[in-house]
Chain A
Amino acid sequence: MDFVSIKKRLLKFSRSAWTPFAAIPIALGIGAILLLIAGYDPIQAYAAMWQGAFKDRTAITEVLIKATPLIFIGAGLAVAFRCSIWNIGAEGQFYAGAVAATAVGIYLGDLPRFLLVPLVLFAGASSGALWGMLAAFLKNRFGANEVVTTIMLNYIAIFITGWLVTGPMIETEGLFAQTAKISQNAWLWRFLPPTRLHTGFILALVLAIVLYIIIFKTSLGYTIRAVGINPDAARYAGINVKRKVLLAMAISGGAAGLGGAVEVAAISYRLYQLISPGYGFDGIAVSLLVNNNPLGVIFSGILFGALRSGAEVMQMNAKVPSVLVFLIQGLVVLSVVAFGVYSYVSKEKEE
């Protein structure tokens, strides 16, 4: 093999979806320096982080549990981003899904399990989809920028949740700002006791694979990608651009809503105001990290799950303040983006 073809292969590899992961050691390296400056032992801190994520079976399943909502959200966002719809509203769509799922899980709690579980998931997905389509409608009808509307809709969804859990849907005891538990018939199966690993994780994997197939293997995905890259050319080719925008937001919102429903039906069993610690925003990085490839989202989702899980233990065991933990997470995102820009620029230069 001559030099040129080796170089070509290397370049091709550098553009593949997996390279951004190479940015992680860099981020952790910078993080180590910051930890040192702040007076902590980076080796000890990272050891605690590693332990927290991968120590034993329970730790690993906790990583997967944390990854589940990120995979739901990230896979959906990958579709929206492929369509060049900058959906920053996955957080709100996640909440919308969680609210609807909780309502069904409580008020229709008498239904048998084989009916109630699908119904809870369906309610979550469709509620999230509607919440997303609202932004798409505003964009199509009035030209409202979806970045602004989706952020606004986040607040609305979160505050509606806050109102529901302190007012109309508050638990009967009325002690905490949370709803009652949903009916046991709505719970997802935890199939690896004593761990909390649940069928929702499997569902997230299936969804990511299905969305991957839709985006890259079907004519529907072709149209979504075409609209995302060049809406003029898409219109010229007879594609109804507005309809695709609506659809992409429905898929994206639906996936996030499904994630919200799974969180309620498998982990929390009830709704409270802070049910999402910012999954909707992490999901953006999860999708961008793998160049908006729904299949890659599985891996980046697990990575972020591990970071979150590990960071908690790092905070507890190595006594690293949470601010530094967030800082390291931020560094990971930043170096990943920098890596992406670098490979984009080197590609441009080559041409």
Chain B
Amino acid sequence: MEDSMPKNNDSQTILRMEEIHKSFPGGVLANRGVNLEVSQGEIHCLLGENGAGKTVLMSVLYGLYKPEAGSIYYKNEKFDVHNPKDAIQNRIGMVHQHFMLVETLSVAENIILGQYKPWKVLNNLEPVIKMIRQMSKDYGLNVDPTSLVQDLSVGEQQRVEILKALYHGADLLILDEPTAVLTPQESEHLLDFLRQLADKGLTIVFITHKLEEVMQISDRVTILRDGKTIATVKTKETNPRELAKMMVGREVLMDLNKKEKQPGKMIFSVKNLSVKDERGLPAVRNFSFDVYEREVVGIAGVSGNGQSELALALAGLMDSEFDSIILNDILITKCDLTRLNQLGMAHIPEDRQKMGLILPFSVSENFIAETFNDRPFSKFGFLQFKTIKNYSQSLVKKFSIRVGDVDEEIAHLSGGNQQKVVVARELDRRPKFLLVNQPTRGIDIGATEFVRQQIIAERDGGAAILLISTDLEEIFALSDRILVMFEGQIMGEVSPNPDMIEQVGLLMAGKTIESAL
């Protein structure tokens, strides 16, 4: 590989993309003159908000999109790529956000999938299995080549994707937001692994919008904004604040300027809530807590410890058992929680695309998802389109949601703007009690900032808020009190003092409060 690079001229550069232009029908300019230069053996982060054009740029390199203009130089030669096959043959590998694995096949079978002479390999998987064992041992990956992909965790599946790219001989590996699907521990593991690969000479392009990851892993970082390259800087010579500014285009308030809490009376109280998950196993066990007026109670925990079930049960979407639930002075002892909605609860669900929104519906149709049957949006059963449109336009304005027309399909909006629609809809109901689950997952920094400010504004306006999040930074930034959840139980309560972060980590791992403090 070294030999193929001319020594005289810029031998460090493995990839250069110049003035890449790519637009989509409907006039969306995804890339408008992007430049990227990646050096041999480095981890190069591609940083930008959602919609900045990071994934599009890499898809151009991988042969998934054809650019309108611009040129690519790879290993100091002009690189014409027409499809992913060209890319793979030229030793470029890409791990997509959504894995391209066949769940019912084994790891080894998945890895050799797409080989040009499959019958040769399929006859004898042994050498492949051996090779994967060796690779997995070299990198401490712990991947069994004979197990079925469907039996692996998300993190393990991702490692299989990476091994697949390496097996196909990648010199340049592209990873598209690889940590979005991982728990903090798995992310840590992945970043270690990538570091090892880079040390062995692999070049890695790492797409992300998370500043901490950039700081932690990259050698250099290129910032994209609105389809243009803003700058390429050495990670050592920058800081998160500067990166955020370049990414968003203005100063970002990392601090929320939260006022001291002034809790009032108790709004929401749960006694001994238990929920069973879909397999009938206990997911939430004897959960009791209170939330007061003008207060944010944060529920911290590693993903999968019962948070989803807790939220769904409170929203009345999952069966549960409990001794009593009080909302706004009304005692509920029956097991039907659908009433909570009518008693002043609003719910920002964990998965906006699966639950919060109806994607093929327009923005305005989504705004009335819970109020479609109420006046003034519906009279005698007929939808009042003009009223709905005016209402939607006012919400779009109030929450500065970026959308051309409220009649546009909501699927066309960016993740951040979709989440803003959900937040706007729920907050506009003026809830007494607000249940928020993962409010900023997968959205860009600008929208995150906005959503968090709205939650704080809602608290200051008098609402009681239960915030469930696996993002510790978010929990600490927003909460007045923190409850740590582990295997469906509360491990303890801590104050959101930055010094307590270590204790919270221990509680999240299942240590008791006595041993943690």
Find out whether the CB atom of A219 lies under 8 angstroms from the CB atom of B382: yes
Find out whether the CB atom of A236 lies under 8 angstroms from the CB atom of B27: no
The size class of the interface chain A forms with chain B is 20 to 34
Find out whether the CB atom of B412 lies under 8 angstroms from the CB atom of A351: yes
Find out whether the CB atom of B383 lies under 8 angstroms from the CB atom of A237: no
B339-369 interface with A by 8 A CB criterion: 341, 347, 349, 354-361, 365, 368-369
Q: Please judge, given known A-B contacts A8-B25, A8-B26, whether A223 and B372 are in contact too, CB under 8 Å.
A: yes
Q: Please judge, given known A-B contacts A229-B359, A229-B361, A230-B359, whether A219 and B373 are in contact too, CB under 8 Å.
A: yes
Q: Return the chain A residue nearest B373 by Cβ.
A: A219
Give the most central of B24, B369, B370: most A CB within 10 Å.
B369
Contacts of B27 in A (CB 8 A): 4, 8
| A220 lies within 8 A of chain B by Cβ | yes
Find out whether the CB atom of B383 lies under 8 angstroms from the CB atom of A222: yes
Q: Please judge, given known A-B contacts A226-B361, A350-B24, whether A236 and B355 are in contact too, CB under 8 Å.
A: yes
Chain A 296-337 interface mask (CB, 8 Å, partner B; 1/0): 000000000000000000000000000000000000000000
Contacts of A268 in B (CB 8 A): none
* Extra pairs beyond A229-B360, A237-B372 (20, CB < 8 Å): A4-B25, A8-B25, A217-B383, A218-B381, A219-B372, A219-B373, A219-B378, A219-B382, A222-B383, A223-B372, A225-B361, A229-B359, A229-B361, A234-B358, A236-B315, A236-B349, A236-B369, A237-B370, A238-B338, A238-B341
Shortest Cβ distance from residue A181 to the other chain B in the assembled complex, whole angstroms: 41
Q: For the complex, what is the distance from the CA of A219 to the CA of B373, rounded to whole Å?
A: 6
Instruction: Determine which of B26, B356, B369, B382 lies in contact with A218 in the assembled complex, contact meaning CB atoms within 8 Å.
Output: B382
A226-245 interface with B by 8 A CB criterion: 226, 229-230, 232-238
Find out whether the CB atom of A232 lies under 8 angstroms from the CB atom of B354: yes
Give the most central of A8, A220, A222, A235: most B CB within 10 Å.
A222
Q: Return the chain A residue nearest B352 by Cβ.
A: A233
Find out whether the CB atom of A230 lies under 8 angstroms from the CB atom of B354: yes
Q: Is the interface of A mostly helix, strand, loop or mixed?
A: helix
| A141 lies within 8 A of chain B by Cβ | no
Find out whether the CB atom of A226 lies under 8 angstroms from the CB atom of B26: no
Q: Return the chain A residue nearest B312 by Cβ.
A: A236
Give the most central of A8, A230, A237: most B CB within 10 Å.
A237
Find out whether the CB atom of B26 lies under 8 angstroms from the CB atom of A350: yes
Q: For the complex, what is the distance from the CA of A220 to the CA of B373, rounded to whole Å?
A: 8
| B121 lies within 8 A of chain A by Cβ | no
Contacts of B358 in A (CB 8 A): 226, 229-230, 233-234
| A11 lies within 8 A of chain B by Cβ | yes
Find out whether the CB atom of B381 lies under 8 angstroms from the CB atom of A233: no
Chain A 102-141 interface mask (CB, 8 Å, partner B; 1/0): 0000000000000000000000000000000000000000
| A57 lies within 8 A of chain B by Cβ | no
Can you identify 11 A-B contacts, CB atoms within 8 angstroms? Answer: A217-B382, A218-B381, A219-B372, A223-B372, A226-B369, A229-B358, A230-B355, A233-B354, A233-B356, A236-B317, A351-B24
